[in-house]
Amino acid sequence: MPEGHSVHRTANKLAELFLDSKVKISSPQGRFAEQASLVSGRKLVESSAIGKQLFLGFDNKLTIRVHLGIYGKWNFYEVSLSRAPDIWGQVRARFGSNSASADLRGPTVCEVVDSTEVLSVIKRLGPDPLRADPSGKEALRFVRKVKASTVPIGSLLMNQAVISGIGNVYRAELLFRAGVSPHRLGSKVSEQTLLAVWDDAVKLMKIGVKT
């Protein structure tokens, strides 16, 4: 399953290709056809990620929410929709403008939601190390969630309600670099260590977005 850094990278790529453009959206597979019609031809005004969740906001106040899950994948083509490659495989959604196109295959979630539903999803998510946190509030929210739990830290780092975007690779690397056993209970990990884990996650995931 893609980790948070790759979803943020995808959000950046979609913004680069489509932001402030009117985007035609279809569903060659058919499963997303009815919902695609709600936003097709509208201007994309936001492309953002929180953890493993991707949000594409349009100028009619509706948003496409995508969670790739295990099998989901994006393909990007820097050619207009009229010149995009022929459809192959099961394409849940095809996006296109006068200068670019993209295909989405196999996501666990691909749905159109309103602002209330977006907020409902966001409220369920833990803090994301890749989101700006100038006041440090999100770092402290992460610390509080871990310290309040008797679940092993290795499991907590994979819990998207505790911290968003971490998967197996980052979990293993962060705990190794911090010298913390994945079996240590969250409540037994010091605040200083947890803040160091958070700061390391910010650093490593930013590198991941770039590479």
Kindly indicate the confidence band of residue 43, based on its pLDDT and cuts at 50, 70 and 90.
very high
Confidence of residue 12 (pLDDT cuts 50, 70, 90): very high
Position 44 scores a pLDDT of 98
- Condensed to tens digits (0 to 9), the pLDDT of residues 86-116 reads 999 999 999 999 999 999 999 999 999 999 9
CATH for 4-124 is: 3.20.190.10
pLDDT (mean) for 129-150: 97
Q: Which of the four pLDDT bands, split at 50, 70 and 90, describes residue 1?
A: confident
Q: Is 38 a residue whose pLDDT tops 90?
A: yes
pLDDT of residue 209: 96
Average pLDDT value over all residues in the chain: 97
What is the predicted pLDDT for the residue at 211? Answer: 85
pLDDT band with cut points at 50, 70 and 90 for residue 189? very high
Please report, rounded to a whole number, the percentage of residues in the chain having pLDDT higher than 90. 99
Residue 97 corresponds to which tokens in the numbers above?
């403008």
3-state secondary structure of 36: helix
> Is domain 137-210 given the CATH code 1.10.8.50 in the classification?
yes
Q: How far is the C-alpha of 68 from the C-alpha of 16, rounded, in Å?
A: 20
Q: At residue 202, does pLDDT exceed 90?
A: yes
Specify the 3-state DSSP secondary structure of 145. Answer: helix
Domain ranges of the chain: 4-124, 137-210
b/e map 103-133, b = 16+ CB within 10 Å: bbbbbeebebbeeeebeebeeebbbbbbbeb
pTM for the predicted model, two decimal places: 0.95
Residue with tokens 């907020």: 119
H or E element that contains 201 = helix 191-210
Q: What is the pLDDT of residues 45-68, one digit of tens each?
A: 999 999 999 999 999 999 999 999
List of residues 6+ apart from 165 with CB closer than 8 A: 3, 4, 5, 7, 8, 50, 51, 52, 128, 129, 130, 205
Helix (H, G, I), strand (E, B) or coil at 180: coil
